[in-house]
Structure 1
């Protein structure tokens, strides 16, 4: 008898790590529902359904999770990949409004989504949650402090939820990418390059030189780790924060 397909909810599914993960989960036989603030130009074949969702809207998060559970009967997997970098690289010039904006999306948004899906998984006594954090969550850095702080919050939310949901057979883990070839790092490299027409490429090369493997990750490489963590065979893994960073925190650090 063929086992029923898992039902997965992926936030931030319209691009980057979220899109790569949704595609990989689909290839593994999972039914994938995507959520993002904006819909993709055309629904990819690997999305069974798509819901527009602003993770800062607590009521919308509740309503979306409730509707998905009602329609599909279960939510077996949550991959929370929604997040932003922010606009101000320097702590002393970051207005509190920008700090609050980044925290609202990255930290409070993660809290709301993980809480709502966690309640579903607690009731059904099974499930797997993976949130995308960052290696920046684990160290002091000079730049993009709101982003770093928000991703540190994501880690602690995951650890706390792993403690709370462990008795209910629900695993909760985080992946911590280093630089990845996504629109977010393109944005950062462009800013770092300034007015120099080749500055973004130089910024990329300088950053890659700090990574032992000498290159950025591809979104699919991060997605592979996420998919591994959501496999029912690996459900005993919980409370982890796995660096997917080519050794970026070794030696020169990230």
Structure 2
């Protein structure tokens, strides 16, 4: 199979890492089907197709994956980038309802998407899966515990899926970004800066100073790593959790 003949499904395709990845896969010649909770006002040229999908709706996930498989004959690549940050930063201030909401989207939703696409790839005995986790999944933090815990769940599900699908010639990996210039970080920085533009910039500078490379990633830098992991030439790579974080977990940078 060549890169140009692949059918790629990208969840969270409407913005940030998902959009950058969809565009990069399209540039390699893949036919890209995007999924997100809401349709874009105008479908971008890098998406051959778009399906609205709420990943917390298990039946909708099953129907969407089955529909794409039926319409295109295969799903060769899955990039699962859909996710949310959460609303309450402090663990002791986090109600159970908020923990459950974030876990439903990031953990259970990921499980449903990965399972359904995994079944398709197992049947066709080929494929490549990359899920977007986070460096926050690999360490303890005071803040945003529902998000951190949910991304840790993504890591473990993907490791288990790599074990299960390895004999079927399916690779399963995760990328773990640090801070990225996306709407999700905008949301976090605004809260840290208490809504004031100058506070937002202070929060950004403070976080960037903790990163050895001294800056945030751009979405396309994460997309480049995802493209590498899904390239047919790299199909022997599986079970990886690759940090794309400018060294953010090194020493005091964590």
Give TM-score scaled by structure 1 length.
0.98
Residues 1:232 and 1:195: Cα distance change in structure 2 (over 3 Å): closer
Match of 1:88 in 2: 88
Match of 1:24 in 2: 24
SS in 2 for 1:167: helix
Match of 2:124 in 1: 124
The answer as to whether partners of 2:3 and 2:231 remain within 8 angstroms in 1 is: no
Superposition pairs of residues 1-254 of structure 1, within 5 angstroms? 5-254=5-254
1:197 Cα deviation from its structure 2 partner = 3.9
1:157-209 per-residue CA deviation (whole Å, 9 max, x = no partner) reads 00000000000000000000000000000000000001544101000000000
Runs of 4+ in 1 over 4 A off after TM superposition: 1-4
- Distance (whole Å) between structure 1 residues aligned to residue 59 and residue 196 of structure 2: 44
- Distance (whole Å) between structure 1 residues aligned to residue 18 and residue 178 of structure 2: 15
1:37 Cα deviation from its structure 2 partner = 0.1
1:122-174 per-residue CA deviation (whole Å, 9 max, x = no partner) reads 00000000000000000001110000000000000000000000000000000
- Distance (whole Å) between structure 1 residues aligned to residue 196 and residue 105 of structure 2: 31
Give TM-score scaled by structure 2 length.
0.98
How many residue pairs get matched?
254
- Distance (whole Å) between structure 2 residues aligned to residue 190 and residue 4 of structure 1: 40
Q: Which runs of 5+ in 2 are unaligned?
A: none
Residues 1:29 and 1:72: Cα distance change in structure 2 (over 3 Å): same
Q: Which runs of 5+ in 1 are unaligned?
A: none
1:84-111 per-residue CA deviation (whole Å, 9 max, x = no partner) reads 0000000001000000000000000000
The answer as to whether partners of 2:128 and 2:230 remain within 8 angstroms in 1 is: yes
1:4 Cα deviation from its structure 2 partner = 5.9
- Distance (whole Å) between structure 2 residues aligned to residue 3 and residue 145 of structure 1: 38
SS in 1 for 2:251: coil
